[in-house]
Amino acid sequence: MPGSGLILAIESSCDETAAAVVERGARTLSSVVASQIATHARYGGVVPELASREHLRAVVPVVRAALAQAGVSLGDLDAIAVTSGPGLAGALLVGITYAKALAFANGLPLIAVNHLEGHIHAVLLNERSMPDGNEFADTEPALALVVSGGHTHLYLATPAEGSWHYSLIGRTLDDAAGEAFDKVAKLLGLGYPGGPWIDNLALHGNPKAVPFAFSRIKTKLHLAGKAPRTKAAKTAPIADLDPDFLFSFSGIKTAVLRYVELHNLRPEAESRREALFMGIDAPARPTIENALAQCEPQTLDLIASFQHAVVGDLLKKTFAAAESLGVRRILVTGGVAANRELRTRFTSEAARRNVSVSFPTLALSTDNAAMIAAAAWPRFVAKEFASSELSADPSLALGR
Ligand code: KG4
Ligand code: ZN
Protein backbone atom coordinates (compact mmCIF):
# COMPACT_ATOMS: atom_id res chain seq x y z
CA MET A 1 0.00 0.00 0.00
CA PRO A 2 1.83 3.14 -1.14
CA GLY A 3 2.42 5.50 1.77
CA SER A 4 2.37 2.78 4.45
CA GLY A 5 6.05 3.42 5.21
CA LEU A 6 6.61 -0.33 5.49
CA ILE A 7 9.84 -1.81 4.16
CA LEU A 8 10.59 -5.51 4.00
CA ALA A 9 14.34 -6.12 4.18
CA ILE A 10 16.35 -9.25 3.45
CA GLU A 11 19.88 -9.86 4.77
CA SER A 12 22.03 -12.83 3.70
CA SER A 13 25.60 -11.52 3.61
CA CYS A 14 27.19 -14.12 5.90
CA ASP A 15 25.76 -16.91 8.02
CA GLU A 16 22.37 -15.61 9.07
CA THR A 17 19.31 -15.53 6.83
CA ALA A 18 17.22 -12.63 8.06
CA ALA A 19 14.07 -10.73 7.09
CA ALA A 20 12.29 -7.89 8.84
CA VAL A 21 9.45 -5.43 8.39
CA VAL A 22 10.15 -1.93 9.70
CA GLU A 23 7.94 1.15 9.48
CA ARG A 24 9.65 4.43 8.48
CA GLY A 25 13.05 3.22 9.72
CA ALA A 26 11.83 3.50 13.29
CA ARG A 27 9.23 0.91 14.31
CA THR A 28 10.13 -2.77 14.01
CA LEU A 29 7.07 -4.90 13.24
CA SER A 30 9.08 -8.11 12.90
CA SER A 31 12.69 -9.26 12.77
CA VAL A 32 13.36 -12.91 12.00
CA VAL A 33 16.87 -14.39 12.02
CA ALA A 34 17.65 -17.99 11.02
CA SER A 35 21.12 -18.74 12.24
CA GLN A 36 23.39 -21.24 10.49
CA ILE A 37 25.66 -21.58 13.51
CA ALA A 38 24.90 -25.30 13.90
CA THR A 39 25.93 -25.92 10.27
CA HIS A 40 29.27 -24.10 10.47
CA ALA A 41 30.21 -24.83 14.10
CA ARG A 42 31.81 -28.22 13.37
CA TYR A 43 34.16 -26.51 10.85
CA GLY A 44 35.10 -23.76 13.31
CA GLY A 45 34.10 -21.01 10.88
CA VAL A 46 31.77 -20.11 8.03
CA VAL A 47 32.01 -22.38 4.96
CA PRO A 48 30.84 -20.19 2.04
CA GLU A 49 29.31 -23.01 -0.06
CA LEU A 50 27.32 -24.27 2.91
CA ALA A 51 26.20 -20.71 3.70
CA SER A 52 24.70 -20.26 0.19
CA ARG A 53 22.93 -23.63 0.41
CA GLU A 54 21.47 -22.78 3.82
CA HIS A 55 20.32 -19.33 2.62
CA LEU A 56 18.55 -20.98 -0.31
CA ARG A 57 16.78 -23.29 2.10
CA ALA A 58 15.83 -20.57 4.58
CA VAL A 59 15.08 -17.41 2.60
CA VAL A 60 11.45 -18.16 1.61
CA PRO A 61 10.27 -19.37 5.07
CA VAL A 62 12.15 -16.54 6.81
CA VAL A 63 10.50 -13.88 4.63
CA ARG A 64 7.10 -15.54 5.13
CA ALA A 65 7.64 -15.56 8.90
CA ALA A 66 8.65 -11.89 8.90
CA LEU A 67 5.48 -10.91 7.02
CA ALA A 68 3.29 -13.12 9.21
CA GLN A 69 4.78 -11.83 12.47
CA ALA A 70 4.33 -8.25 11.27
CA GLY A 71 0.73 -9.07 10.30
CA VAL A 72 1.19 -7.61 6.81
CA SER A 73 1.10 -8.92 3.27
CA LEU A 74 3.30 -8.01 0.30
CA GLY A 75 0.58 -5.65 -0.91
CA ASP A 76 0.99 -3.53 2.25
CA LEU A 77 4.63 -2.73 1.56
CA ASP A 78 6.21 0.41 0.16
CA ALA A 79 9.53 -1.20 -0.86
CA ILE A 80 11.84 -4.19 -0.64
CA ALA A 81 15.39 -3.66 0.66
CA VAL A 82 18.32 -6.03 0.43
CA THR A 83 21.97 -6.17 1.48
CA SER A 84 24.12 -5.88 -1.65
CA GLY A 85 27.55 -6.12 0.05
CA PRO A 86 30.06 -6.48 1.56
CA GLY A 87 29.87 -10.18 2.31
CA LEU A 88 30.10 -13.62 0.72
CA ALA A 89 29.25 -13.44 -3.00
CA GLY A 90 27.11 -16.56 -3.18
CA ALA A 91 25.34 -15.78 0.09
CA LEU A 92 24.55 -12.19 -0.97
CA LEU A 93 23.21 -13.40 -4.32
CA VAL A 94 20.54 -15.55 -2.69
CA GLY A 95 19.04 -12.54 -0.89
CA ILE A 96 19.44 -10.23 -3.90
CA THR A 97 17.81 -12.65 -6.35
CA TYR A 98 14.85 -13.27 -4.09
CA ALA A 99 14.43 -9.56 -3.26
CA LYS A 100 14.49 -8.70 -6.96
CA ALA A 101 11.86 -11.32 -7.74
CA LEU A 102 9.60 -10.07 -4.93
CA ALA A 103 10.01 -6.45 -6.01
CA PHE A 104 9.35 -7.24 -9.66
CA ALA A 105 6.37 -9.49 -9.02
CA ASN A 106 4.73 -6.96 -6.69
CA GLY A 107 5.64 -3.77 -8.56
CA LEU A 108 7.67 -2.48 -5.62
CA PRO A 109 10.89 -0.45 -5.70
CA LEU A 110 14.09 -2.25 -4.71
CA ILE A 111 16.62 -0.59 -2.36
CA ALA A 112 20.24 -1.79 -2.11
CA VAL A 113 21.80 -1.40 1.34
CA ASN A 114 25.44 -1.57 2.39
CA HIS A 115 25.74 -4.06 5.27
CA LEU A 116 28.04 -1.69 7.22
CA GLU A 117 25.55 1.15 6.91
CA GLY A 118 22.98 -1.34 8.18
CA HIS A 119 25.03 -1.94 11.32
CA ILE A 120 25.19 1.84 11.94
CA HIS A 121 21.42 2.11 11.49
CA ALA A 122 20.92 -0.66 14.07
CA VAL A 123 21.86 1.96 16.68
CA LEU A 124 19.82 4.71 15.00
CA LEU A 125 16.79 2.39 14.80
CA ASN A 126 17.10 1.85 18.51
CA GLU A 127 17.26 5.59 19.19
CA ARG A 128 14.39 6.41 16.83
CA SER A 129 12.19 3.79 18.48
CA MET A 130 12.55 5.31 21.96
CA PRO A 131 9.15 6.20 23.47
CA ASP A 132 9.14 9.89 22.51
CA GLY A 133 11.35 9.33 19.40
CA ASN A 134 14.88 10.65 19.70
CA GLU A 135 15.32 13.86 17.71
CA PHE A 136 19.02 13.50 18.28
CA ALA A 137 19.04 10.25 16.25
CA ASP A 138 19.16 11.83 12.80
CA THR A 139 20.57 15.28 13.50
CA GLU A 140 23.90 14.93 15.30
CA PRO A 141 27.08 13.73 13.60
CA ALA A 142 28.58 10.64 15.20
CA LEU A 143 31.71 8.57 15.20
CA ALA A 144 30.66 4.98 14.46
CA LEU A 145 32.78 1.98 15.41
CA VAL A 146 31.61 -1.01 13.36
CA VAL A 147 33.17 -3.99 15.08
CA SER A 148 32.15 -7.42 13.81
CA GLY A 149 33.52 -10.69 12.47
CA GLY A 150 34.44 -9.08 9.16
CA HIS A 151 35.08 -5.44 10.03
CA THR A 152 36.70 -3.11 12.52
CA HIS A 153 36.09 0.26 10.95
CA LEU A 154 35.68 3.80 12.30
CA TYR A 155 33.41 6.12 10.31
CA LEU A 156 32.42 9.70 10.75
CA ALA A 157 28.68 9.61 10.06
CA THR A 158 27.12 12.96 9.18
CA PRO A 159 23.40 13.58 8.67
CA ALA A 160 22.56 15.77 5.68
CA GLU A 161 19.07 16.55 4.43
CA GLY A 162 17.50 13.38 5.73
CA SER A 163 20.24 11.02 4.62
CA TRP A 164 23.66 10.09 5.99
CA HIS A 165 27.20 10.51 4.66
CA TYR A 166 30.15 8.48 5.81
CA SER A 167 33.86 9.03 5.77
CA LEU A 168 36.37 6.43 6.82
CA ILE A 169 38.53 7.47 9.77
CA GLY A 170 40.24 4.22 10.74
CA ARG A 171 40.23 0.50 10.07
CA THR A 172 42.00 -2.76 10.74
CA LEU A 173 44.98 -3.62 8.60
CA ASP A 174 44.44 -7.35 9.00
CA ASP A 175 41.98 -9.33 11.17
CA ALA A 176 38.73 -7.86 12.43
CA ALA A 177 38.26 -7.83 16.22
CA GLY A 178 35.48 -10.46 15.99
CA GLU A 179 37.77 -12.62 13.88
CA ALA A 180 40.37 -12.44 16.68
CA PHE A 181 37.72 -13.54 19.22
CA ASP A 182 36.77 -16.43 16.90
CA LYS A 183 40.37 -17.51 16.22
CA VAL A 184 41.42 -17.35 19.88
CA ALA A 185 38.32 -19.34 20.88
CA LYS A 186 39.16 -21.92 18.21
CA LEU A 187 42.75 -22.34 19.35
CA LEU A 188 41.55 -22.83 22.93
CA GLY A 189 39.09 -25.50 21.77
CA LEU A 190 36.00 -23.37 22.38
CA GLY A 191 32.91 -23.16 20.19
CA TYR A 192 32.06 -21.07 17.13
CA PRO A 193 31.40 -18.18 17.07
CA GLY A 194 33.92 -17.56 19.82
CA GLY A 195 32.87 -14.08 20.95
CA PRO A 196 29.97 -15.07 23.20
CA TRP A 197 32.01 -17.90 24.83
CA ILE A 198 34.95 -15.62 25.53
CA ASP A 199 32.58 -12.92 26.82
CA ASN A 200 31.10 -15.37 29.34
CA LEU A 201 34.29 -17.16 30.37
CA ALA A 202 36.23 -13.88 30.77
CA LEU A 203 34.01 -13.04 33.75
CA HIS A 204 35.81 -15.82 35.65
CA GLY A 205 39.43 -14.82 34.93
CA ASN A 206 41.83 -12.08 35.93
CA PRO A 207 42.01 -9.49 33.09
CA LYS A 208 45.36 -8.22 34.35
CA ALA A 209 47.06 -11.66 34.49
CA VAL A 210 48.67 -11.51 31.02
CA PRO A 211 49.87 -8.06 29.93
CA PHE A 212 49.10 -8.14 26.19
CA ALA A 213 50.21 -4.95 24.48
CA PHE A 214 49.27 -3.27 21.22
CA SER A 215 52.15 -1.32 19.76
CA ARG A 216 51.58 1.70 17.55
CA ILE A 217 50.89 0.66 13.95
CA LYS A 218 53.76 1.24 11.57
CA THR A 219 52.32 2.30 8.25
CA LYS A 220 55.51 2.41 6.20
CA LEU A 221 54.62 -0.71 4.19
CA HIS A 222 51.11 0.50 3.64
CA LEU A 223 52.29 3.95 2.71
CA ALA A 224 54.32 2.25 0.00
CA GLY A 225 50.99 1.38 -1.55
CA LYS A 226 50.51 -2.19 -0.33
CA ALA A 227 46.94 -3.25 0.14
CA PRO A 228 45.82 -4.09 3.67
CA ARG A 229 45.79 -7.82 4.44
CA THR A 230 42.10 -8.02 5.07
CA LYS A 231 39.12 -9.56 3.34
CA ALA A 232 36.98 -6.61 4.39
CA ALA A 233 35.49 -4.00 2.12
CA LYS A 234 37.84 -2.07 -0.15
CA THR A 235 38.31 1.38 1.28
CA ALA A 236 40.38 4.51 0.99
CA PRO A 237 44.15 4.06 0.87
CA ILE A 238 45.64 3.46 4.29
CA ALA A 239 47.99 6.37 3.63
CA ASP A 240 45.03 8.76 3.95
CA LEU A 241 44.27 7.58 7.46
CA ASP A 242 45.81 8.69 10.74
CA PRO A 243 47.99 5.78 12.00
CA ASP A 244 46.61 6.41 15.51
CA PHE A 245 43.23 5.18 14.30
CA LEU A 246 44.44 1.99 12.61
CA PHE A 247 43.91 -1.42 14.21
CA SER A 248 45.70 -4.75 13.91
CA PHE A 249 44.40 -7.88 15.60
CA SER A 250 46.42 -10.65 13.98
CA GLY A 251 49.35 -10.28 16.41
CA ILE A 252 47.36 -10.88 19.60
CA LYS A 253 46.09 -14.22 18.27
CA THR A 254 49.72 -15.34 17.78
CA ALA A 255 50.61 -14.00 21.24
CA VAL A 256 47.80 -16.10 22.76
CA LEU A 257 49.04 -19.18 20.90
CA ARG A 258 52.60 -18.57 22.09
CA TYR A 259 51.36 -18.19 25.68
CA VAL A 260 49.47 -21.49 25.47
CA GLU A 261 52.58 -23.29 24.16
CA LEU A 262 55.01 -21.61 26.54
CA HIS A 263 52.91 -22.32 29.61
CA ASN A 264 52.00 -25.77 28.41
CA LEU A 265 48.34 -25.14 29.14
CA ARG A 266 47.04 -28.70 29.41
CA PRO A 267 46.41 -30.00 25.89
CA GLU A 268 44.08 -32.69 27.24
CA ALA A 269 41.83 -29.95 28.63
CA GLU A 270 41.79 -28.38 25.20
CA SER A 271 40.76 -31.61 23.54
CA ARG A 272 38.07 -32.16 26.19
CA ARG A 273 36.72 -28.70 25.36
CA GLU A 274 36.90 -29.51 21.67
CA ALA A 275 34.98 -32.75 22.25
CA LEU A 276 32.38 -30.77 24.17
CA PHE A 277 31.89 -28.21 21.41
CA MET A 278 32.09 -30.61 18.48
CA GLY A 279 29.38 -32.74 20.03
CA ILE A 280 31.75 -35.73 20.50
CA ASP A 281 31.12 -37.38 23.91
CA ALA A 282 28.91 -34.40 24.73
CA PRO A 283 25.94 -35.42 26.85
CA ALA A 284 24.08 -32.23 25.95
CA ARG A 285 24.58 -28.91 24.19
CA PRO A 286 27.58 -27.09 25.67
CA THR A 287 26.66 -24.66 28.41
CA ILE A 288 28.79 -22.04 30.13
CA GLU A 289 28.85 -24.26 33.24
CA ASN A 290 30.33 -27.28 31.47
CA ALA A 291 32.70 -25.11 29.38
CA LEU A 292 33.83 -23.49 32.64
CA ALA A 293 34.41 -26.90 34.19
CA GLN A 294 36.85 -27.66 31.34
CA CYS A 295 38.88 -24.45 31.80
CA GLU A 296 41.71 -24.28 34.32
CA PRO A 297 42.26 -20.94 36.12
CA GLN A 298 45.25 -20.07 33.90
CA THR A 299 43.13 -20.47 30.75
CA LEU A 300 40.40 -18.27 32.24
CA ASP A 301 43.02 -15.63 33.07
CA LEU A 302 44.31 -15.82 29.50
CA ILE A 303 40.79 -15.41 28.09
CA ALA A 304 40.03 -12.45 30.39
CA SER A 305 43.37 -10.80 29.55
CA PHE A 306 42.85 -11.25 25.81
CA GLN A 307 39.39 -9.66 25.95
CA HIS A 308 40.61 -6.87 28.21
CA ALA A 309 43.41 -6.01 25.77
CA VAL A 310 41.19 -6.03 22.66
CA VAL A 311 38.49 -3.92 24.31
CA GLY A 312 41.17 -1.54 25.64
CA ASP A 313 42.61 -1.02 22.16
CA LEU A 314 39.16 -0.41 20.61
CA LEU A 315 38.34 2.02 23.41
CA LYS A 316 41.58 3.98 23.25
CA LYS A 317 41.51 4.53 19.49
CA THR A 318 37.78 5.24 19.26
CA PHE A 319 37.85 7.93 21.96
CA ALA A 320 41.06 9.40 20.53
CA ALA A 321 39.41 9.67 17.09
CA ALA A 322 36.26 11.26 18.57
CA GLU A 323 38.37 13.80 20.42
CA SER A 324 40.48 14.60 17.38
CA LEU A 325 37.34 15.09 15.23
CA GLY A 326 35.56 17.07 17.94
CA VAL A 327 32.64 14.62 17.87
CA ARG A 328 30.63 14.21 21.08
CA ARG A 329 28.55 11.23 20.00
CA ILE A 330 29.82 7.66 19.58
CA LEU A 331 27.91 4.69 18.14
CA VAL A 332 29.31 1.18 18.66
CA THR A 333 27.80 -1.59 16.56
CA GLY A 334 28.38 -5.04 14.99
CA GLY A 335 28.59 -8.44 16.67
CA VAL A 336 31.41 -7.50 19.06
CA ALA A 337 29.25 -4.61 20.37
CA ALA A 338 27.33 -7.35 22.23
CA ASN A 339 30.39 -7.84 24.46
CA ARG A 340 29.72 -6.97 28.11
CA GLU A 341 33.18 -5.69 28.99
CA LEU A 342 33.12 -3.51 25.87
CA ARG A 343 29.75 -1.99 26.79
CA THR A 344 30.75 -1.36 30.40
CA ARG A 345 34.10 0.22 29.62
CA PHE A 346 32.84 2.35 26.70
CA THR A 347 29.94 3.56 28.85
CA SER A 348 32.16 4.62 31.76
CA GLU A 349 34.79 6.22 29.52
CA ALA A 350 32.03 8.20 27.74
CA ALA A 351 30.66 9.38 31.09
CA ARG A 352 34.16 10.37 32.20
CA ARG A 353 34.64 12.43 29.02
CA ASN A 354 31.08 13.73 28.97
CA VAL A 355 30.30 12.37 25.49
CA SER A 356 27.42 10.08 24.53
CA VAL A 357 27.81 6.44 23.54
CA SER A 358 25.02 4.20 22.19
CA PHE A 359 24.77 0.56 21.26
CA PRO A 360 22.11 -1.46 19.45
CA THR A 361 19.99 -3.86 21.51
CA LEU A 362 21.74 -7.23 21.85
CA ALA A 363 19.52 -8.73 19.14
CA LEU A 364 20.38 -5.90 16.75
CA SER A 365 24.15 -6.09 17.45
CA THR A 366 24.69 -9.22 15.38
CA ASP A 367 23.45 -9.60 11.80
CA ASN A 368 19.75 -8.96 11.27
CA ALA A 369 17.44 -7.45 8.64
CA ALA A 370 15.75 -4.78 10.78
CA MET A 371 18.94 -2.70 10.51
CA ILE A 372 18.83 -3.10 6.70
CA ALA A 373 15.22 -1.88 6.59
CA ALA A 374 16.17 1.07 8.84
CA ALA A 375 19.07 2.06 6.59
CA ALA A 376 16.82 1.73 3.54
CA TRP A 377 14.30 4.29 4.82
CA PRO A 378 16.25 7.49 3.99
CA ARG A 379 17.01 6.00 0.54
CA PHE A 380 13.31 5.32 0.03
CA VAL A 381 12.48 8.93 0.93
CA ALA A 382 15.19 10.15 -1.46
CA LYS A 383 13.91 7.71 -4.13
CA GLU A 384 17.33 6.11 -4.46
CA PHE A 385 16.27 2.83 -5.99
CA ALA A 386 18.39 -0.02 -7.30
CA SER A 387 18.18 -1.08 -10.93
CA SER A 388 17.11 -4.53 -12.03
CA GLU A 389 20.79 -5.13 -12.81
CA LEU A 390 21.70 -5.05 -9.10
CA SER A 391 24.32 -7.66 -8.27
CA ALA A 392 26.36 -8.68 -5.23
CA ASP A 393 29.44 -6.63 -4.41
CA PRO A 394 31.45 -8.75 -1.94
CA SER A 395 33.90 -5.91 -1.19
CA LEU A 396 31.49 -2.95 -1.30
CA ALA A 397 32.98 0.01 0.56
CA LEU A 398 31.12 2.53 2.71
CA GLY A 399 31.82 6.21 2.27
CA ARG A 400 35.03 7.75 1.05
O1 KG4 B 1 27.94 -8.57 13.01
P2 KG4 B 1 28.10 -10.04 13.04
O3 KG4 B 1 26.92 -10.89 13.45
O4 KG4 B 1 28.56 -10.60 11.66
C5 KG4 B 1 29.48 -9.93 10.84
O6 KG4 B 1 29.05 -9.00 10.09
O7 KG4 B 1 30.67 -10.30 10.96
O8 KG4 B 1 29.36 -10.33 14.00
C9 KG4 B 1 29.78 -11.64 14.32
C10 KG4 B 1 31.03 -11.52 15.19
C11 KG4 B 1 31.69 -12.86 15.46
O12 KG4 B 1 33.08 -12.72 15.25
C13 KG4 B 1 31.37 -13.12 16.93
O14 KG4 B 1 32.35 -13.90 17.60
C15 KG4 B 1 31.33 -11.71 17.48
O16 KG4 B 1 30.69 -10.96 16.46
N17 KG4 B 1 30.56 -11.62 18.73
C18 KG4 B 1 31.09 -11.27 19.91
C19 KG4 B 1 30.04 -11.36 20.87
N20 KG4 B 1 28.91 -11.77 20.22
C21 KG4 B 1 29.25 -11.93 18.91
N22 KG4 B 1 32.33 -10.89 20.25
C23 KG4 B 1 32.58 -10.59 21.54
N24 KG4 B 1 31.64 -10.67 22.51
C25 KG4 B 1 30.37 -11.05 22.23
N26 KG4 B 1 29.45 -11.12 23.19
ZN1 ZN C 1 27.56 -7.84 10.20
pLDDT at 3 over 50: yes
pLDDT at 73 over 90: yes
pLDDT at 221 over 60: no
Choice among 153-157, 251-255, 284-288 with the minimum mean pLDDT: 284-288
Pocket test for ligand 1, best of 119, 345, 366 (most atoms within 8 A of CB): 366
C-beta of 196 in contact with ligand 1 (< 6 A): yes
**Residue range 371-396: mean pLDDT, rounded:** 96
Q: Which ligand is nearest to the CA of 193?
A: 1
C-beta of 178 in contact with ligand 1 (< 6 A): yes
Cα angle 93, 99, 100 (rounded to 5 degrees) comes to 90
| pLDDT-based confidence at residue 224 (cuts at 50, 70, 90) | very low
C-beta of 294 in contact with ligand 1 (< 6 A): no
**Residue range 225-238: mean pLDDT, rounded:** 53
**Residue range 360-387: mean pLDDT, rounded:** 96
pLDDT at 95 over 60: yes
Q: Is 330 exposed, middle or buried (0-12, 13-18, 19+ CB in 10 A)?
A: buried
Q: For residues 205 and 355, give the distance between their C-alpha atoms in angstroms, rounded to a whole number.
A: 30
- Whether a cis peptide bond, with omega within 30° of 0, leads into 48 is no
pLDDT at 282 over 70: no
Q: Report phi then psi at 270, rounded to 5.
A: -65, -45
**Residue range 173-194: mean pLDDT, rounded:** 93
**Residue range 218-230: mean pLDDT, rounded:** 53
| pLDDT-based confidence at residue 271 (cuts at 50, 70, 90) | confident
Measure 373 CA to ligand 2 centroid, in angstroms.
Answer: 14
Pocket test for ligand 1, best of 336, 340, 398 (most atoms within 8 A of CB): 336
Q: Can you give the residue ranges of every domain in the chain?
A: 6-137+363-381, 177-360
> How confident is the model at residue 349, as a pLDDT?
98
**Residue range 317-331: mean pLDDT, rounded:** 98
> How confident is the model at residue 113, as a pLDDT?
98
Q: Whose CA is nearest to atom 3 of ligand 1?
A: 366
Measure 334 CA to ligand 1 centroid, in angstroms.
Answer: 7
pLDDT at 234 over 70: no
Q: Kindly give the residue spans of alpha helices, DSSP state H, lying in the chain.
A: 37-41, 48-70, 89-106, 115-128, 177-187, 194-202, 220-223, 250-262, 267-278, 288-293, 297-325, 340-353, 362-365, 370-381
Residue 86 in contact with residue 296, Cβ under 8 Å? Answer: no
Count other Cβ atoms within 10 Å, centred on residue 287.
11
Stretch (H or E) spanning 160: strand 152-160
Measure 226 CA to ligand 1 centroid, in angstroms.
Answer: 28
Q: Are 6-137+363-381 and 177-360 in the same CATH fold?
A: yes
The third-level CATH classification (topology) of the domain covering 6-137+363-381 is: Nucleotidyltransferase; domain 5 (3.30.420)
Q: For residues 58 and 267, give the distance between their C-alpha atoms in angstroms, rounded to a whole number.
A: 38
Q: Which has more confidence, 74 or 36?
A: 74
> How confident is the model at residue 280, as a pLDDT?
54
**pLDDT by residue (tens digit) across 11-55?**
999 989 999 999 999 999 999 999 888 787 777 778 888 888 999
Q: Which residues 6+ apart lie within 8 Å of 172 measured at CB?
A: 151, 152, 153, 228, 230, 232, 246, 247, 248, 249
> How confident is the model at residue 202, as a pLDDT?
98
Measure 89 CA to ligand 2 centroid, in angstroms.
Answer: 14
- Nearest to 108, CA basis, from 139, 134, 129, 77: 77
Q: For residues 291 and 55, give the distance between their C-alpha atoms in angstroms, rounded to a whole number.
A: 30
Measure 86 CA to ligand 2 centroid, in angstroms.
Answer: 9
**pLDDT by residue (tens digit) across 325-336?**
999 999 999 999
Q: Which residues 6+ apart lie within 8 Å of 63 measured at CB?
A: 8, 10, 19, 98, 102
Measure 12 CA to ligand 2 centroid, in angstroms.
Answer: 10
Pocket test for ligand 1, best of 181, 277, 307 (most atoms within 8 A of CB): 181
pTM of the prediction?
0.92
> How confident is the model at residue 225, as a pLDDT?
47
Q: Which CATH superfamily is domain 177-360 in?
A: ATPase, nucleotide binding domain (3.30.420.40)
Measure 334 CA to ligand 2 centroid, in angstroms.
Answer: 6
**Residue range 344-369: mean pLDDT, rounded:** 97
Pocket test for ligand 1, best of 15, 148, 152, 314 (most atoms within 8 A of CB): 148
